């Protein structure tokens, strides 16, 4: 479709039209080779696409390569995927989103991306620009600077992630979110990442759907707002499910998408196989919108146009492998087994931090915890000292002068020793 036709299809979702950047408004798939090849897919003589085949649609595969994918049909592993991603994979992932978001949630047909970073980058290109800021809680995954600001020139605006100091068991700073939204005067994008990197925090039930919760703050915002739910760590919830600290325990996408007014707000979900299927190298992510019908399809096509203009299409073997895994009857049990390993590490870390008196920001999910440093200690210096003096590697978070500890890659039995070593440096005064 032409850009004009796609933009016309977005009239049923006015917010999307108001939010698109100049590049987003221009984005469209031309009537090019993939479309012409798809039109002719059932022809007896197939002389469209430049794929090297045996004349019946099978790749002329090199055995040395093909045997690496011996469980996959060579057509799945060695030929091109569509720009939007494998059709069946898109349907299955949409069902996966609906299953946790709940019935009645508007969910477009997801576009498959080359990892979640790629999905965020597409959102950045579609919705941000030098005069269209990205709003994120601080601290945030530092790659957002590279993905968004470096590419589109959009400034990052921040508000404090927590509503008080670490020692007072703070919560997600919904009041800070409200104030930050109040300062916006035109179209903007808000990015919410739960379970969060680097804090390891996910909001509690009332922090999402309560009268002073995230959903109410966003729904009341008067200007066009795209909300990106970065659900990279979806499902990794370890905090309590009942009582006063009960976690919300699922993506905020569903509640936001159901409550959003399509005249002002568009909710985007980025997620993928990277952590949910422990397939880091597979590079399979998804981008989904709260716009449905023709408007959802138009946004998906704009995303596909950005894919066509950068990587042309995503990797076939990984998409095929993810589809097979999602259709496997044993997948849920396999994921549960990984979750219980991580939950053990999470509990071991909490216990060890308490035992060694190492202060930490609240964490209840994901892969990380964040350790605030005492006044006068500098995150980069402490990081270097931990390497040299204790043979411990952590990540410095200069945004809030803290250290990020990834507990997802350390055996539970080794965690007390890790914390003891960290404590020797942090508590050495």
Ligand X SMILES: Cc1ncc(COP(=O)(O)O)c(C=O)c1O
Dihedral sign for Cα atoms in the order 110, 116, 117, 123? positive
Q: Which range touches ligand X (CB under 6 A), out of 109-117, 221-229, 396-404, 421-429?
A: 109-117
- Can you give the three-state secondary structure of 144-187, one letter per residue? HHHHHHHHHCCCEEEEECECCCHHHCCCECHHHHHHHHHCCCCC
String of contacts with ligand X for each residue 22-61, x by CB under 6 A = ----------------------------------------
Least distance to ligand X, CB of residue 206, Å: 24
State the nearest-atom distance from the C-beta of 368 to ligand X, in Å: 9
For residue 58, the minimal CB distance to ligand X (Å) is 31
Write the DSSP assignment of 180-215 as a string of letters: HHHT--S-EEEEEESS-TTT----BHHHHHSTTSHH
**Cα–Cα distance for residue pair 148/365, rounded to 1 Å:** 25
Binding mask of the shown chain, residues 263 to 302, with x at each position contacting ligand X by CB under 6 A: ---------x-x----------x-----------------
Q: In terms of DSSP bridges, do strands 188-193 and 134-138 run parallel, antiparallel, or are they unpaired? A: parallel
What CA–CA distance (Å, rounded) separates 357 from 364? 18
Looking at 76, 230, 234, 276, which residue binds ligand X (CB under 6 A)? 230
Distance CA 101, CA 98 (A): 5
Give the count of beta carbons closer than 10 Å to the beta carbon of residue 60: 11
Which residue number, 83 or 274, has a Cβ lying nearer to ligand X? 274
For residue 336, the minimal CB distance to ligand X (Å) is 22
Contact 191/135 with Cβ under 8 angstroms? yes
167-196 positions binding ligand X, by CB under 6 A: 193
Comparing CB distances to ligand X, the nearer of 193 and 364 is: 193
Least distance from C-beta 222 to ligand X, angstroms?
Answer: 28
Best CA proximity match to 268, nearest among 148, 141, 138, 97: 97
CA 218 distance to own-chain centroid: 19
Contact with ligand X (CB under 6 A) among 27, 37, 101, 232: 232
By CB under 6 A, the count of residues binding ligand X is 11
141 binds ligand X, rule: CB under 6 A: yes
In terms of DSSP bridges, do strands 225-230 and 111-113 run parallel, antiparallel, or are they unpaired?
A: unpaired
Q: Quick one: which of 405, 411, 321, 315 has its CA closest to 356?
A: 405
Figure out which of the listed residues 108, 117, 152, 365 binds ligand X, where binding follows CB under 6 A.
117
Identify which of residues 14 and 279 has a Cβ nearer to ligand X in the complex. Answer: 279
Range in contact with ligand X (rule: CB under 6 A) among 11-19, 47-55, 110-118, 370-378? 110-118
Give percent helix, percent strand, percent coil of the chain, each to the nearest 5.
45, 15, 40
Cα 51 from Cα 54, distance rounded (Å):
10
Residue 197 contacts ligand X per CB under 6 A: yes
Rule CB under 6 A: say whether 139 interacts with ligand X.
no
What are the distances in angstroms from CA 175 to CA 100, 160, 190?
27, 10, 15
Tell me which stretch binds ligand X (CB under 6 A): 113-121, 159-167, 173-181, 289-297: 113-121
Can residue 368 be called a binding residue for ligand X (CB under 6 A)?
A: no
Least distance from ligand X to the Cβ atom of residue 274, Å? 3
Q: How far is the CB of 196 from ligand X (least distance, A)?
A: 7
If binding is defined by CB under 6 A, does position 106 make contact with ligand X? no
> Which residues contact ligand X (rule: CB under 6 A)?
115-117, 141, 193, 197, 230, 232, 272, 274, 285
């Amino acid at each position: 479709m032409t850009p004009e036709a796609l933009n016309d299809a977005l009239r049923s979702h006015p917010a999307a039209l108001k939010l698109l950047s100049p590049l987003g408004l221009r984005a469209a798939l031309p009537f090019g080779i993939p479309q012409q090849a798809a039109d002719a897919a059932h022809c007896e003589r197939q002389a469209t696409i430049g794929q090297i085949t045996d004349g019946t649609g099978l790749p002329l595969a090199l055995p040395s390569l093909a045997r690496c994918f011996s469980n996959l049909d060579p057509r799945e592993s060695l030929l091109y995927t569509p720009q939007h991603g494998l059709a069946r994979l898109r349907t299955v992932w949409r069902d996966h989103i609906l299953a946790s978001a709940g019935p009645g949630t508007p969910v477009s047909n997801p576009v498959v991306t080359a990892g979640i970073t790629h999905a965020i980058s597409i959102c950045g290109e579609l919705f941000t620009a030098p005069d269209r800021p990205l709003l994120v809680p601080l601290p945030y995954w530092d790659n957002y600077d590279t993905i968004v600001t470096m590419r589109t020139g959009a400034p990052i605006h921040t508000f404090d992630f927590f509503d008080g100091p670490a020692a007072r068991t703070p919560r997600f700073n919904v009041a800070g979110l409200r104030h930050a939204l109040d300062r916006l005067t035109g179209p903007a994008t808000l990015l919410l990442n739960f379970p969060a990197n680097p804090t390891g925090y996910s909001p509690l039930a009332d922090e999402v759907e309560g009268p002073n919760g995230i959903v109410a703050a966003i729904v009341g915002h008067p200007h066009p707002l795209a909300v990106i739910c970065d659900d990279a760590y979806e499902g990794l919830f370890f905090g309590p499910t009942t009582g006063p600290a009960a976690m919300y325990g699922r993506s905020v996408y569903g509640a936001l998408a159901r409550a959003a007014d399509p005249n002002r707000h568009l909710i985007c979900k980025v997620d993928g196989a990277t952590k949910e299927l422990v397939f880091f190298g597979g590079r399979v992510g998804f981008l989904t919108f709260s716009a449905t019908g023709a408007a959802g399809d138009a946004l998906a096509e704009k995303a596909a146009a950005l894919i066509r203009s950068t990587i042309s299409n995503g990797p076939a073997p990984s998409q095929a492998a993810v589809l097979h895994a999602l259709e496997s009857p044993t997948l849920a049990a396999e994921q549960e087994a990984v979750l219980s390993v991580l939950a053990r590490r999470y509990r071991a870390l909490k216990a060890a931090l308490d035992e060694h008196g190492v202060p930490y920001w609240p964490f209840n999910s994901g892969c990380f915890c964040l350790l605030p440093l005492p006044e006068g200690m500098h995150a980069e210096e402490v990081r270097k000292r931990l390497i040299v003096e204790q043979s411990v590697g952590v990540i410095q978070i200069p945004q809030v002068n803290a250290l990020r500890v990834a507990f997802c890659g350390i055996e539970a039995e080794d965690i007390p020793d890790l914390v003891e070593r960290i404590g020797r440096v942090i508590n050495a005064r």
